[in-house]
Structure 1
Amino acid sequence: MIKKLACIVILSGISFAAISQVNTATKKTARPDIPGAFVLELGLNRGLSAPGDFSLGLWGSRTLNVYYQYEFRILKSKFSFVPGVGFSMERYKFKNSYVLDYANATAPEPSMIAPANAGYPSIKNSKLITNYFEIPAEIRFTLNPDDPARSFKIGVGGRIGYLFDSFTKIKYSENGETKKIKDKQDFNLTKIRYGLTGRIGFGNFSLFGYYNLTPLFEKGKGLKDSGTFNDFNTMTIGISLASF
């Protein structure tokens, strides 16, 4: 899903660029002035104080956020309120090839199953994918609010999200053939999450960070560490690109 959306965004950018060139050459129509901004964020996910068997690969554990935001300037100051709406698509790749699943049909909570006990031969990679509908909002300071595309800016805020899709994806080899399987479940993941965001950048490029205030799994229903529930949180850091 992440690759498909990225391709759509890239193709859309190429199309808009081509249209812009044609308009510049003919000078018959003006470029459409769409209010607000479309934001594309690419980031890396980490589990904070997660159980040892919830060990994540660096690049394979990534996020793609796609938002539409609208900036409301506060009076004539350099501050503005920026709400938005969009989607956050996250994946967690387990570098030890463990599989997130229930130990048996009656198990009340999921666990990390060792590759030898997961029921799949020669596991190549194992991932958890979570997709959220989200509402971000931030207070932003822009050094030159009259020319935001060429100005330094910094923002702090938060976002709230609803989990609408989750599944594991397992890639394994059997009889010389590579196979993939998806297991679509909620795995006791937290349905409604909220967290803090921050960003700093120049023009339409910025660095961002997100700290999830709610645990990845529901409290007392997620993964255990040495027999005790580990209600760990997650964070994401990455880059952000916006259109103006």
Structure 2
Amino acid sequence: MKNLFASALLSVLSLSAAVASNARPTGDTIVVKVNDKDKMLLVTDKSGNISSLTKYDLNALVRRVDSTLNQNQNLYEQKTDGSKALKDTSFTIMLGQEKVSRIHIKSYNGNISVNVRDVNKDTTIHVKSHRSRTRSTFDIDLGFNTFSQKTSDKRYDLNPLGSRYISLRWGYRTRIGGKESPLRLNYGMEVAWNNYMFQDDYVIKKGSGSVDFVQKLDADNNPINFKKSKLTTCFLNVPVTFEIKKKNFRVGAGGFVGYRLDSYSKIKYSFEGDTKRDRDHSNFYLNNWQYGLRATVGIKEVDFFVNYHLNNLFESGKADKLNPISFGITF
């Protein structure tokens, strides 16, 4: 935000200097090109006074301006998502006792526009908004997992509330078309964890040629009742969705593809008065690649998502056919 404000301020200074030079064609102006994008404008009120600038420490001046922008919190307002935005600001440029121009800086959704109005000539100059076509994003998906079909083997049945889904997504949102276009392309990379909590007192195992569900026995060969028995998978996904946004409403559709990073089973149970937790890392005949469809709906600051896996959770012939579905809310 500070860089955008500085760019807008440079534009104001440049235009104000141009207006001032047209009103009073005296003095000298030097434009110092700092890099490919930024320039510094030096203006003196009388011709030949450029040499007087040597008595000023320009480095100290720049540091002071930078410090002022950081400390003057009145220039900014706090948004609901925790970020800061530049407030709408207006001020007048004076040349002696004469009003030369009226400046209005407007910030909206991360973009800054500057309007300069020549008071004497009653004309308005519009400076093009600083609008980025692409923005970086970070989102968190929280939700639940289920399967799209039921099987005859009840050991695959899931505990709905315990079968949770979470993903951390880093990505970009790019506007497609002109500045008023409602179409966006969302893409990036995410790490996603799918938890499948089973209802019965069985733990999933990798058998000699198939997925097995076995019971854990105590010293007397009696089955142990589990407080928790689940399978957790961790995938690195690449999601891509197209989104249409109209005011506070947005809808998106696309897909994802991912590769398995890890998977493990975990059981929690009581044994001789103590709480025990056993974890077993294995591939469990899981498909290493996953792919599917993704749909999103958003209203104001709230987004909902659904992920549907087009391929089976397990390798063909190793377990029952199961296609996971994840759904929830995005922060």
Q: Calculate the TM-score normalised by the size of structure 1.
A: 0.75
Question: 2:231 is matched with which residue?
Answer: 128
Question: 1:164 is matched with which residue?
Answer: 261
Partner deviation per Cα, 1:103-131 (whole Å, 9 max, x = no partner): 5xxx2111222456999733221010100
1:210 match: secondary structure: strand
What is the rounded CA distance, in whole Å, between the counterparts of 2:306 and 2:266 in structure 1? 26
Is the contact made by 1:72 and 1:80 (CA closer than 8 Å) also made in structure 2?
yes
What is the rounded CA distance, in whole Å, between the counterparts of 1:169 and 1:240 in structure 2? 27
Give the stretch that moved more between structures: 109-118 or 173-182: 109-118
Displacement of 1:232 after TM fit?
A: 1.6
- Distance 1:35-1:79 versus aligned 2 partners, 3 A rule: closer
What is the rounded CA distance, in whole Å, between the counterparts of 2:145 and 2:217 in structure 1? 26
Asked whether 1:234 is paired with 2:234, we answer: no
2:201 match: secondary structure: coil
Q: State the structure with more CA Rg.
A: 2
2:155 match: secondary structure: coil
1:70 match: secondary structure: strand
Question: 2:13 is matched with which residue?
Answer: none
Question: 1:227 is matched with which residue?
Answer: none
2:156 match: secondary structure: coil
What is the rounded CA distance, in whole Å, between the counterparts of 1:98 and 1:81 in structure 2? 43
Is the contact made by 2:145 and 2:164 (CA closer than 8 Å) also made in structure 1?
yes
Partner deviation per Cα, 1:15-53 (whole Å, 9 max, x = no partner): xxxxxxxx9874399859894211111111002224321
Question: 2:119 is matched with which residue?
Answer: none
1:189 match: secondary structure: coil
Question: 1:112 is matched with which residue?
Answer: 213
Tell me which amino acid in the other structure corresponds to 2:326.
Answer: T
Q: Calculate the TM-score normalised by the size of structure 2.
A: 0.56
Give the stretch that moved more between structures: 195-204 or 57-66: 195-204
Is the contact made by 1:55 and 1:94 (CA closer than 8 Å) also made in structure 2?
yes
Displacement of 1:204 after TM fit?
A: 3.4
- May I ask how many residue pairs the two structures share in their alignment? 203
Displacement of 1:100 after TM fit?
A: 0.6
2:312 match: secondary structure: coil
What is the rounded CA distance, in whole Å, between the counterparts of 2:72 and 2:245 in structure 1? 35
What is the rounded CA distance, in whole Å, between the counterparts of 1:212 and 1:232 in structure 2? 9
Is the contact made by 2:135 and 2:173 (CA closer than 8 Å) also made in structure 1?
no
Between the two structures, name the one with larger relative contact order (CA 8 Å, sep ≥ 6). 1
Percent same amino acid at aligned positions? 28
RMSD, aligned α-carbons: 2.6
Which structure 2 residue ranges, 5 or more long, are not aligned? Answer: 1-68, 77-83, 86-109, 111-133
Question: 1:173 is matched with which residue?
Answer: 270
Which structure 1 residue ranges, 5 or more long, are not aligned? Answer: 1-22, 145-150, 224-229
| Pairing of 1:1-244 with structure 2 (within 5 A) | 26-27=72-73, 35-51=135-151, 52-76=154-178, 77-103=181-207, 107-114=208-215, 121-144=224-247, 151-221=248-318, 223=319, 230-241=320-331
What is the rounded CA distance, in whole Å, between the counterparts of 2:186 and 2:75 in structure 1? 30
